[in-house]
Structure 1
Amino acid sequence: MSYLDNVRVFVRVVELGTLSAAGRDQRVTPAVASNRIKELERHLGVRLFNRTTRKLSPTEHGHVFYQGAVKIIEAVNEAESAIADLSGNPKGSLRITAPLGLGRRLIAPGIPEFHDQYPAIEVRLRLTDRNVDLLSEGVDIAFRLGVLEDSNLRMRGILNCERVLCAAPSYLERRGIPATPEALIDDRHDCLLLRYPGSKEYFWMLQTPRGLRKFEIAGPFDSDDGDVLTEWALEGRGIVNKPLFEVKQYINEGRLAVILKETPPPGIQLAAIYPHKRFQDPKVRLMIDFMAERCQQLIGKMLD
């Protein structure tokens, strides 16, 4: 086993907390990950982790070694990136994340084509509607719908996406069509909520004659998967707030109807988010350029 591979596994165990998670991240079995940590401990002559049944936490020696190990990995990555940039032959791995709906429709289908163009680049895609911490989870690029809130990250805007409120005709026949945003609350309409652990109090922002306003809506159930909300809306279970490109097909088919057209949600930015140092890596630049062009083309076709 190479010493650098052992260090890489060690860093990911510290960041992810378990051997199994670090093993998946590094594409090795938990047994191999465990052996690499043991080999590293033998080499250093110290214990790097306190071991419990559920999680590994770094010892004092482990904390000290982690600070230096991260710098080692960053230096090697930067050196490899510089060589790849000069040689025109980028290689290595890219860790990418995206929301479920966006990832399934736009990002995942493009990965094989990207790999065909750059066969030496391995792409590791994780789809989740959870707000992934790029720095702590070692992610190179996140494709997201929303705004940048972390000053340690950088954003490249790809496209401003129109959003709509919509519901199935069966729901609107049963519950009535809201005439104003206030009716969502006053008439106690069932709004379908996207939530995940740690999410904030739920509300919708709508554009009104008095400007952008917050409406604290409610509903009988929620999900951390945006596609589940769409399915519930199609079944007539409530009103959903979605990017237009995700529901345009259902609107054209008459399965969903847009409501409150005069007071819609504001558009939402589709963007690539990345740690500021990562953009020096040619793999990151290539992936962002590739997906930006692809997303713009595909969303344009969906909205035709």
Structure 2
Amino acid sequence: MAYLDNIQTFVRVYELGNMSAAARDQRISAAVASARISQLEEHLNVRLFQRTTRTLNPTEQGHMFYRGACKILEAVDAAEAEISNVTMTPRGSLFIAAPLGLGRRLIAPAVPAFKEQYPLIDIRLRLSDRKLDLAAEGLDLAFFLGIPEDSNLRIRKIADCPRVLCAAPSYIARRGMPDSGEALVRDKHDCLNLRYPGAPEFQWPLQTPDGVRRFSVHGPFESDDGDVLTGWALEGHGIILKPVFEVADFLKSGALVPVVPDEPPVPIQLACLYMHRRRQDPKTRLLIDFMAERIQAALK
């Protein structure tokens, strides 16, 4: 197993281009990762990386060994998956992430039921509205709202989530009810937006009589926590764009009311992202299948 550990560490160092990032991904120290690479180089009697104080670049032999190493790890993954399927005893930990609203309302409530069905699988759930790097942060999979930018990840679509523009009745009484996307911009309505490092500019895509149009909106407040935006909206500070499942209870009670109902927002994709090499991990597949069924039922 030590040799296999060395190969796994080499593959992550090669893919991430950074010893520290690979160590975090493998949940080991940077010193252990460096030692594993040195052991592998000694065993192969070649240098796999050219190291300087600032860079780490694969050698020609490193490129060659990477291709073979990936095949080795894929074969091991496939063999372990077959064994797990036969024995029906998947085990181990899954490190997963989700946006705050989605995680709190749809993912976290289903975790105990999953654990009850698969008692040997432990779930480590991280909730954050910021953009996550699966490889660098050691995540097995992440639930996601929108269109992912990283083409190196595999994606499984779960559902299209309807969205709604909404605000508190007190805001509508003070500022009036906008009847179109044009009115949102023209009348300078207070639009509360999600902002985190690397977030795109604020544009709300609405389904207008002329087709989908994107409106550049602005407001006095922004946050990297979607539930903070909902709280501000409930207090009458502005308009929010939300998946319906996040604000359904507030809409039902009347604490929030739909805005621009004749030009609803474009639905947002809810999907799961995971690494290519982990596609055969039975734990990952079981969790995705379980959550997809629960989420689809909840959205109905």
Same-fold call, TM cutoff 0.5: yes
CA contact (8 A) 1:167 1:236 kept: yes
TM-fit CA distance, 1:25: 2.8
1:82 maps to what in 2? Answer: 82
Residues 146-161 of structure 1 aligned to structure 2 (within 5 Å): 146-147=146-147, 156-161=156-161
CA contact (8 A) 2:25 2:137 kept: no
CA contact (8 A) 2:21 2:136 kept: no
Question: Under a length normalisation based on structure 1, what TM-score does the superposition of the two structures give?
Answer: 0.79
1:100 maps to what in 2? Answer: 100
Counterpart CA distance in 1 for 2:136 and 2:30 is 20
Q: Could you list the per-position Cα deviations for residues 22-76 of structure 1 after superposition, in whole angstroms to 9, with x for gaps in the alignment?
A: 3333233444334333433443443635254xx7623425444433333322221
Change (3 A) 1:29 1:136: closer
SS at match of 1:193: strand
CA contact (8 A) 1:82 1:281 kept: no
Counterpart CA distance in 1 for 2:103 and 2:15 is 24
Counterpart CA distance in 1 for 2:84 and 2:51 is 38
Counterpart CA distance in 2 for 1:271 and 1:243 is 14
**Worse-matched range after superposition: 74-83 or 147-156:** 147-156
Opposite residue 287 of structure 1, the aligned amino acid is L
Change (3 A) 1:169 1:152: same
SS at match of 1:260: coil
Counterpart CA distance in 2 for 1:259 and 1:204 is 13
SS at match of 1:96: strand
Change (3 A) 1:90 1:295: same
Residues 222-301 of structure 1 aligned to structure 2 (within 5 Å): 222-274=222-274, 280-299=280-299
Q: Percent identity?
A: 58
Change (3 A) 1:274 1:51: same
2:203 maps to what in 1? Answer: 203
Counterpart CA distance in 1 for 2:78 and 2:43 is 26
Q: What are the ranges of 5 or more consecutive residues in structure 1 without an aligned counterpart?
A: none
Change (3 A) 1:258 1:169: same
Q: Could you list the per-position Cα deviations for residues 143-192 of structure 1 after superposition, in whole angstroms to 9, with x for gaps in the alignment?
A: 22335777776654434322110123343333332132211100111222
Question: Under a length normalisation based on structure 2, what TM-score does the superposition of the two structures give?
Answer: 0.80
Change (3 A) 1:151 1:66: closer
Counterpart CA distance in 1 for 2:151 and 2:27 is 31
Q: How big is the alpha-carbon RMSD for the aligned residues of Structure 1 and Structure 2?
A: 3.4
Residue correspondences, number: 298
SS at match of 1:247: helix
